[in-house]
């Protein structure tokens, strides 16, 4: 009987093994894998530049006689931005009034537009800020797409009220431009400290 039991056990093991293999073959699935490697996520940048196009050099100021200027603001960013600018400067003589120098008749055009758009803000004195928008305010800002160029033109003038004490004085000035991305909640960067 023990021999019969042993044979039966061996047959049973063969049966289980054969059944397991046939079930394994019947339930086999095709699978595959793949890997995407080497992807790099870059971060966008916000960068802006201002250049003086005209004049090559300003002439000596004469009270009441404006001089034209043209500046080019370039969006070197990889994203759309909006911009603002401020005009800074002071006389080399502390006794002279900086507010007598002003920028006026400001206007702008984007890229190769045919017409200029006037800024409602009539005059800028040192320290004043203008936003690149039809009103010159922080509303309805003009977006500059990546690679866009904005031309900002106007006149610089010494007020008629400048007297003889202004003769031969020097007025070094700068124009600072700041930009932020076109997104709700984006905040303006601080200007460099006043010069």
Per-residue confidence in pLDDT tens, the chain, 195 aa: 566 556 666 766 666 666 666 655 656 678 888 888 888 888 888 888 988 888 888 889 999 999 999 999 999 999 999 999 998 999 999 999 999 999 999 999 999 899 999 887 668 899 999 999 988 888 889 999 999 999 999 999 999 999 999 999 999 988 999 999 998 889 999 988 755
Residue 128 lies in a domain: yes
Residue 143 lies in a domain: yes
pLDDT of residue 16: 64
Q: Tell me how far CA of residue 105 lies from CA of 93, 120, 136, in angstroms.
A: 27, 9, 12
Residue 84 lies in a domain: yes
Residue 4 lies in a domain: no
Q: Do 83 and 179 touch, CB atoms closer than 8 A?
A: yes
* Verdict on whether the full-model pTM lies above 0.85: no
Domain extent for 150 = 48-181
pLDDT of residue 29: 75
The H or E element that residue 5 is part of is helix 2-26
Residue 35 lies in a domain: no
Residue 99 lies in a domain: yes
Q: The domain that contains 112 carries what CATH number? A: 2.60.40
pLDDT of residue 110: 93
Residue 186 lies in a domain: no
Q: How many domains does the chain have?
A: 1
Residue 74 lies in a domain: yes
């Amino acid at each position: 009987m023990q021999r019969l039991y042993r044979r039966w056990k061996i047959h049973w093991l063969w049966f289980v093994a054969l059944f397991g293999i046939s079930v394994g073959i019947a339930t086999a699935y095709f699978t595959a894998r793949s890997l995407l490697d080497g992807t790099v996520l870059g971060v966008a940048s916000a960068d802006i530049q201002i250049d003086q196009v005209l004049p090559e050099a300003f002439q000596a100021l004469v009270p009441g006689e404006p001089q034209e200027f043209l500046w080019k603001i370039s969006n070197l960013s990889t994203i759309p931005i909006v911009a603002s600018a401020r005009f800074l400067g002071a006389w080399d003589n502390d006794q002279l009034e900086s507010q007598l120098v002003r920028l006026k008749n400001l206007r702008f055009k984007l890229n190769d537009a045919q017409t200029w758009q006037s800024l409602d803000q009539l005059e800028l004195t040192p320290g004043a800020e203008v936003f690149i928008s039809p009103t010159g305010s922080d509303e309805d800002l003009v977006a500059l797409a990546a690679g866009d160029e904005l031309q900002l033109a106007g006149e610089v003038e010494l007020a008629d009220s400048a007297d003889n004490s202004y003769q031969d004085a020097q007025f070094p000035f700068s124009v600072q431009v700041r930009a932020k991305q076109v997104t709700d909640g984006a905040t303006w960067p601080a200007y460099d400290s006043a010069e």
